[in-house]
Amino acid sequence: MLELIPNQLGFPLLSLMIFVPLAGAVILLAVRDARAARWIALLFSIAEIGLSVPLLANFDGSIAHMQFGESLPWIKDWHINYRIGVDGISVLFVGLTALLTTISIMVSWTAIQDRVREFMIAVLFLEAGMIGVFVALDLFLFYIFWEAMLIPMYLLIGVWGGPNRLYAAIKFFLYTLVGSVLMLVAILAVYFSAGGTFDVLALMNHPFGHTFQMWAFAAFFAAFAVKVPMFPFHTWLPDAHVEAPTAGSIILAGILIKMGAYGFLRFSLPFFPSAAISWTPAIMTLSVVAIIYGAYMAFAQTDFKKLIAYSSVSHMGFVTLGIFALNSQGVEGGLLQMINHGVSTGALFLAVGVIYERTHTRMIADYGGIAAKVPVYAAYLLIITLSSIGLPGTNGFVGEFTILLGAFQYKAVYAVIASLGIILGAGYMLWLYQRVAFGTVTNPHNEHLQDMNLREIAAALPLLVLVFGVGLYPNAAFQVMHASTENLIKHVQAKAALAPVAAQAANALLGQ
Amino acid sequence: MLTSVQEILKQLVPIYPEFVLIAFALSVLVVDMFLNGRYTHLLGWYSLIGIVIAASMTIILGGVQGAFFSGTVLLDPFSQFFKLVFYLACGLGILIAMKYLDIEDIHRGEYYALMLFATAGMMLMASAGDLITIYLGLELMALSIYVLAGFMRKDSRSNEAGIKYLLLGAFSSGIMLYGMSLLYGLAGTTNLDGILAFLRTADLKNPVLFLSMVMLMVSFGFKVAAVPFHMWVPDVYEGAPTSVTAFMSAGPKVAGFAVLLRVFTHTLDPLHADISLLLSGLAVLTMAVGNVMALSQTNIKRMLAYSSIAHAGYALVGVAAGGQEGAASVMLYVLIYAVMNMGAFGVVIMLRKAGMRGEEISDFAGLGKTNKTAAFLMLIFLFSLTGIPPMAGFVGKFYIFKSAVQAGMIWLAIVGVLFSAISAYFYLRVIMLMYMYDPKEEFGLVQSPALALALAISVTAVIVIGVYPTPVLEFARASVAGLL
Amino acid sequence: MIPLSWYVLLSAALFTIGVVGVLTRRNVFIILMSIELMLNAANINLVAFSHYLQNLTGQIFVIFVITVAAAEAAVALALIILLARNRGTVYVDEFNIMKG
C-alpha cells in the first residue's frame, strides 16, 4: 500500500515547480518588450531546472511511496484536496519537462518573431500544466491540469504553426477533448463507486467490481489512447507535429504524448487491474500494429517532420507494448523508453527546427548533401538518428531491449513482430539521414548554409549528454524507478486476483 | 394614521428589496421626464445604486425566513441566492448598456426603469410561494423585456424581435395558465405547499394531473429556451439590442430555472419519476439542437443564442437529476453561466461602432492583434463556455454531470460531455479568428469605464470561481436546503 | 344548476381553438386574439373551479389575469404599430429579416 510521505524539505518543492512557471507567465503579462520577454521566460524555465535538482537529489529510489507530498483541503464539499507527490514513475518526467521546456524556449529565440510575449506565456503556462499532471495525486486536480494544458498547446499550434495550422490545431483539440470528457464521466463513476473520494492512493486500494472495471478502463483508455496516440487514434499527431512550431513539436513529442502512457501506469493499471488483464491482448495487438504501421508510414514520408511524427507512433507502440506486458521488464523498459523517446525525438525536432529556420522547407528532397556544409549539424543529427534507431551505447537500445524482454515473457510472437519494427526503424532513419546529409549538394540554396550556432549547440548539448548517459549507465534511471514499478506489478497482480472475489461478493449482496 | 402607515411598512419588510427596485424604477421614469433626454448616464448609475441598496437589503434579510402575505411570498436561502444572481445580471446588464445605448442612439431613461422592473419580476418569481405570484412575477419580467427587445424603435429587426418574443411569450403564458388552472381545480389551492400536501395523498395516475404538469413544463421550457420550445431564441437574440440580448440570456433564463426548480423539485416532487424522464429527454434534445445548430452560424449573437440553448440543456440535466445535489448544481451552473455569458456579450458590444455592426463572427478576425486585452478576455470567456479548466465553466459543468452520475444517469452524463466536446468547435472558431487571422481593417474598439468595470467583474468571477469554487459552492449547497 | 364538466369542456374547447389559431393564422391581430382565447379559457376554468370548490382564490387569480392580459395587449399593439410603420405589414410570415 502506497503512502504519501510529507515533504521533508523546508519549502514546498513541488508546489513551487507548478507555480514558478505560472508566476513567470503572470509577470510576462506586464512586459511589452520582446527581448525582455525572451529573457524572463528563459530565466523562469532555468529556475525550474534549478528546482528539479533538489527534487532528483533528494528522491529516495529505494521506496515505492509517494514523496515530497503536500496535501491541502481545496473543495471540501466534494472531498477534493490539493494533493501532490512524486514516485519513481513520475519523478523523471518532472525533470524532463523542466529540461525540454528550457530547450524549447532556447530554440524559439529567433524562430519566433511574432507576438513573442504571448508565445512565452503559453509555453510557461503549458509547463505548469505538464508538471501538474505528473505530480497530481487527486483525480480532480489531475483532470484540471490535463485539460488546462490543451489551451496553450492549441494556441501554440494555431497561432505560431505552419500554413495548415488551423486544421491541425482544432483536430488536436477536439480529439483530445472527446477522449478526456469520457474519462471525466468515468472519474465521476469511480468517485461514487469508491464512496466519494478523488484520492488516487485510496482509489488504488479500492476493490472495484470486474464489470465496472471493464467500463471504467475503457473510458480512461479513450483519454489516454488518444494522447499516446495508439494506433487507430493517432491521426491527429502527424498533423499537429507538422504544423506546430519547433518548440511545440518538442514539447508535444517529448512530454505531452507521454502523458497517455503515464496515465496507464498511474491510473488505469492500479485502479482497474483485472480489466487491464482482460484488455491486454487487444492492447498488445494494437501496440504491435502501431509499431509496424508507424514504421511503414514513416518510409513513405517526404516531409521531415511527418516522418518523425510517424516514427513517434511506432516508438510509442513499443512503450504500450512494454507497459501491458505487465511484468517488471516490460514496465520498466516502457517507462525508460518514454524518457528516451522524449530525449531523442525532442532532439530530432530540434534538428528539424534548426534546419527549417535556415531553409524554410521541411521537404527531405530539398536538403541532400548538407553534411559537407554543416559538419556540426550533421554530426549532431547522426548521433540522434542512431539513438532513435536504438544503437547499443545509446539510450534507445536499453529501452527497446528491455521492452522486448518483457514482451517475450508475455508472448514471444509480439516480441518477434516488434523486433521487425526495430529493423524497419533502422531502415527509415538511416535512409532519412542518407537523403539529408550525404551525397552532393543538390539544392543551390544550401550552398551557403550556416552551421549550428552557440545557442543551438547549448540547447542540444544536454540532450546529447542524456543520450549517452542513459545508454552507458541505464542503472541510474532504473534505480529511480525500480521500487515503484515492482510495487505496481505486485499491486496489479494482487488486486487482479482479488477482483473476481469482490465481484462475487457484490453479486451475492445484490442477489439477497 | 401614522401608526397604520408604520404598520404597513412593517408588514412590507419581506419585499423591501423588490419595493426599492420598483421605487427606483418609478423615480427614474419621473426624473427622466424632467431631464428630457440629458444626463441619461447618471440615470444608469442611479439605477445601479438602487441595485446595490436592494442587494444589501436582501443580504440583511438573509436571516429572515418564512412565508409572508398568506404564503404567496417566500423568503428562504433559495430565493436569496437567485436574487443575488439577478442583481448581478441586472448590474452587469446596465454597465455594458450605457455606452452601447449612446451608439445606437436609443439612450433613454426608460431603459433602466424597464431593467429594474424586469429584475423585480424575476425576484418575485424566485420568491413565489403561490401560482399567482409565479404568474405575476413572470409577466412583470416578460412585459418589461418585450419592450426592451423592441427598444430600437426605428430598427425593424428590433421590432421583429420584440413582437416575436411577445407572441411566443404570451402563447406560453396561456399554456402555463391553463396548466395552473387545472392544477388549481385538482388541488383546490394555488399555494405551492398546499399543492405538495395534496399530491402526497393524491392519485398520481390521474391523467389531468399529468396534463397540467406537462403544460407547466412546456411553458417553463419556453422561458428557459429548451428544445423544442426554442424557435424564438435565435431571432429574438439577434434582433434585440445587444445589451438586452446579454441581459435576456442571463436574467430571464435564470429566473426560469428558479421557477422550474421550485415547481418541479419541490411542489411536484411526488411526480419525480415522470418529470425526470421527460426532462432528461428535453435535456438531450436541447443540448443536441443547441450545439449542432451553433456550428453553422455566422452571426455572433445567433451563435451565442444557440449556445445559450445548449447551456439550458446542461442545466436541465441537473434538474432531471433532481434531489439536493441536482438542484444545487443547477444553481451553481446558472450563476456561472450568467457571469461568463454577460462577459462574452460585453466583448461583443465593444465591436459595435457607428458604421459597423460588429455582429458577424468574421468581424472578430485579427482582434488578437488589434486589441489584445479584449481578445484575451474573450478567450477566457469562450474557454469558460466550453468548460475547460481552470475557468468557472468547467466547475459548473462538472457539478452538473456529477449530480447526474450520482442520480444514476450515467448515460445522460455521457451524452452531455460529448455534446460539450462538440461545442468546443464553434467557440474555438471565434478564438481562431481572433488569434490566427489577420485583421481585415484597422479599427479601434468602443471603450468606456462602465464596460471596463463590467468586464473586470465578470473575468474576475470566472477565474476565481474556476480556481477556488469552495465559497460559491458552499453557498449554493446551503441555499438549496430550504427547497426540499 | 350547470354541472362543472360543462364549464371544463367549454374551456377546453376555447383553449384548443386558441392554440390552433396561434399556430395557423398569419395575421398578428388574429394571433393576439387567439392568445386571448387561451387566457380566457384558463379564466373560465379558474372561475368554475372556484365556484365548485367554494374557494375564492381562483377568482382572485382571474382578476390578475385580466389585468395582465390588458397590459400585454397594450405592449403588443404598440409593437405592432411600430412594425406596421416600419415594414408595412401585419402578417407574421413576412417578419423574416432574420433566418438561420
- What secondary structure, in 3-state letters, does A103-164 show? HHHHHHHHHCCCCHHHHHHHHHHHHHHHHHHHHECEHHHHHHHHHHCHHHHHHHHHHHCCCC
Q: What's the rounded Cα separation, in Å, for the pair A394 and A340? A: 9
CB contact under 8 A, A154 and B428: yes
Q: What DSSP element (H or E) covers A458?
A: helix A454-472
Cα A390 versus chain centre, distance? 18
Cell of A131: 508538471
Q: What's the rounded Cα separation, in Å, for the pair A253 and A229? A: 11
Interface of A with B in 174-233 (CB under 8 A): 174, 177-178, 181-182, 184-185, 188-189, 191-192
CB contact under 8 A, C71 and B139: yes
Contacts of A143 in chain B (CB under 8 A): 389
Residue A492 pLDDT greater than 90, yes or no? no
CB contact under 8 A, B177 and C38: yes
CB contact under 8 A, A150 and B410: no
Residue tagged 404567496 (cell numbers): B72
**What pLDDT shows up at residue B82?**
95
Q: What's the rounded Cα separation, in Å, for the pair B100 and B345? A: 12
In a domain, A88, yes or no: no
Q: What's the rounded Cα separation, in Å, for the pair C53 and A354? A: 88
Report DSSP state, residue A7. Answer: P
Interface of A with B in 132-151 (CB under 8 A): 140, 143-144, 147-148, 150-151
Question: What total of structural domains would you count in chain C?
Answer: 1
Distances (CA, A) of A387 to A205, A209, A290, A465, B395: 39, 43, 20, 12, 44
Task: Say what the alpha-carbon torsion angle A225, A231, A237, A239 is, to the nearest 10 degrees.
Answer: -140
Q: Which domain holds residue A385?
A: 272-512
**Stretch among A170-174, A413-417, A439-443 having the lowest mean pLDDT:** A439-443
Cell of A33: 518588450
Segment C41-60 shows an average pLDDT of 94
Contacts of B245 in chain C (CB under 8 A): none
Residue C94 pLDDT greater than 80, yes or no? no
In a domain, A175, yes or no: no
Residue B365 pLDDT greater than 90, yes or no? no
Chain A: list its partners (3+ Cβ pairs within 8 Å): B
Is B417's Cβ below 8 Å from some Cβ in A? yes
Residue A505 pLDDT greater than 60, yes or no? no
Q: How many CA atoms are closer than 13 Å to the CA of A431, on its beta-carbon side?
A: 16
Residue B191: beta bridge partners?
A: B130
Question: What total of structural domains would you count in chain A?
Answer: 1
Residue A82: beta bridge partners?
A: A72
**Nearest Cβ partner for B132 among C48, C64, C95:** C64
In a domain, A90, yes or no: no
Q: With bands split at pLDDT 50, 70 and 90, how would you rate the model's confidence at B467?
A: very high
Polymer length in residues for chain A:
512
Q: What's the rounded Cα separation, in Å, for the pair A329 and A489? A: 10
Q: Which of A156, A174, A158 is nearest to A166 (CA)?
A: A158
Q: Which residues contact B309 (CB under 8 A, 6 or more apart)?
A: B225, B226, B227, B230, B233, B286, B289, B290, B293
CB contact under 8 A, B167 and C38: no
Which residue on chain A is closest to B422 by alpha carbon? A174
CATH number of the domain where residue C18 is located: 1.10.287.3510
Which stretches of A326-394 are DSSP H helices? 328-359, 375-389
**Nearest Cβ partner for C35 among B139, B170, B299:** B170
Name the minimum distance, in Å, from the CA of B354 to any CA of chain C: 21
Q: What is the pLDDT of residues A451-475, one digit of tens each?
A: 888 888 888 899 999 988 888 888 8
Contacts of B388 in chain A (CB under 8 A): 147-148, 150-151
In a domain, A78, yes or no: no
Query: Which amino acid does the sequence have at A43?
Result: L
CB contact under 8 A, B156 and C83: yes
CB contact under 8 A, B398 and A151: no
Name the minimum distance, in Å, from the CA of B390 to any CA of chain A: 6
Query: Which amino acid does the sequence have at A268?
Result: S
Cell of A487: 510495487
Q: Which of C34, C41, C31, C77 is nearest to C62 (CA)?
A: C41
CB B334 within 8 A of CB B254: yes
Q: With bands split at pLDDT 50, 70 and 90, how would you rate the model's confidence at A508?
A: low
Q: What is the pLDDT of residues B232-270, one digit of tens each?
A: 999 999 999 999 999 999 999 999 999 999 999 989 989
Q: What is the pLDDT of residues B143-158, one digit of tens each?
A: 999 999 999 888 888 9
Which residue on chain B is closest to C95 by alpha carbon? B160
In a domain, C32, yes or no: yes
- pLDDT averaged over every residue in chain A: 89
In a domain, C71, yes or no: yes
Residue B360: beta bridge partners?
A: B299
In a domain, A211, yes or no: no
Cα A364 versus chain centre, distance? 26
**Nearest Cβ partner for B405 among A155, A181, A192:** A192
Name the minimum distance, in Å, from the CA of C28 to any CA of chain B: 9
C–B touching, 3+ CB–CB pairs within 8 Å: yes
In a domain, C41, yes or no: yes
Q: Which of A498, A330, A296 is nearest to A405 (CA)?
A: A330
Q: How many CA atoms are closer than 13 Å to the CA of A433, on its beta-carbon side?
A: 19
Residue A512 pLDDT greater than 80, yes or no? no
- ∠ CA B389-B390-B393, nearest 5°, is 60
Q: What's the rounded Cα separation, in Å, for the pair B199 and B205? A: 11
**Nearest Cβ partner for B166 among C8, C75, C86:** C75
Residue tagged 445589451 (cell numbers): B243
Dihedral (CA of B43, B47, B48, B52) sign: positive
Which stretches of A254-272 are DSSP H helices? 257-263, 269-271
Q: Would strands B73-75 and B66-68 be described as parallel, antiparallel, or unpaired? A: antiparallel
Q: Which domain holds residue C56?
A: 4-90
**What pLDDT shows up at residue B484?**
67
Contacts of A75 in chain B (CB under 8 A): 469-470, 473
In a domain, A322, yes or no: yes
A–C touching, 3+ CB–CB pairs within 8 Å: no
Residue A511 pLDDT greater than 50, yes or no? no
**Nearest Cβ partner for A185 among B410, B470, B477:** B410
Q: Which of B171, A374, B336, A489 is nearest to C19 (CA)?
A: B171
Strand arrangement, sheet containing A66-75: A4-6, A66-75, A80-86
Q: What is the pLDDT of residues B410-466, one digit of tens each?
A: 999 999 999 999 999 999 999 988 888 888 776 677 888 999 999 999 999 999 999
CB A390 within 8 A of CB A397: yes
**Peptide bond preceding B390: is omega within 30 degrees of 0, i.e. cis?**
yes
**Stretch among B9-18, B113-122, B212-221, C36-45 having the lowest mean pLDDT:** B9-18
Q: Which residues contact A494 (CB under 8 A, 6 or more apart)?
A: none
Name the minimum distance, in Å, from the CA of B114 to any CA of chain C: 13
- pLDDT averaged over every residue in chain B: 91
Contacts of B360 in chain C (CB under 8 A): none
Which stretches of A196-303 are DSSP H helices? 200-204, 210-227, 236-243, 246-251, 257-263, 269-271, 273-299
Q: Which of B326, B312, B334 is nearest to B405 (CA)?
A: B326
Which residue on chain B is closest to A215 by alpha carbon? B410
Strands of B247-358 (E only): list them. none
**Nearest Cβ partner for A192 among B406, B425, B432:** B406
**Nearest Cβ partner for B413 among A169, A173, A188:** A188
Q: What is the pLDDT of residues B294-330, one digit of tens each?
A: 999 999 999 999 999 999 999 999 999 988 899 999 9
Q: Would strands A4-6 and A66-75 be described as parallel, antiparallel, or unpaired? A: parallel
CB contact under 8 A, C100 and B298: yes
Query: Which amino acid does the sequence have at A157?
Result: I
**What pLDDT shows up at residue B105?**
85
3-state secondary structure of B437: coil
CB A97 within 8 A of CB A134: yes
CB contact under 8 A, B178 and C80: no
Q: What's the rounded Cα separation, in Å, for the pair A465 and A449? A: 26
Report DSSP state, residue A379. Answer: H
Contacts of C22 in chain B (CB under 8 A): 167, 171
Contacts of C28 in chain B (CB under 8 A): 163, 167
CB contact under 8 A, B190 and C83: no
Residue B73: beta bridge partners?
A: B68, B128
Q: What's the rounded Cα separation, in Å, for the pair A79 and A192? A: 11
Q: What is the pLDDT of residues B63-100, one digit of tens each?
A: 888 888 888 999 999 999 999 999 999 999 999 999 88
Q: Which of B121, B156, B146, B115 is nearest to B135 (CA)?
A: B121
Is B146's Cβ below 8 Å from some Cβ in A? no
**What pLDDT shows up at residue A146?**
94
Interface of C with B (CB under 8 A): 8, 11, 15, 18-19, 22, 28, 31-32, 35, 38-39, 41-43, 45-46, 48-49, 52-53, 55, 57-58, 60-61, 64-65, 68, 71-72, 75-76, 78-80, 82-83, 86-87, 92, 95, 97-98, 100
**What pLDDT shows up at residue A231?**
84
Which residue on chain B is closest to C97 by alpha carbon? B157
Name the minimum distance, in Å, from the CA of A458 to any CA of chain B: 32
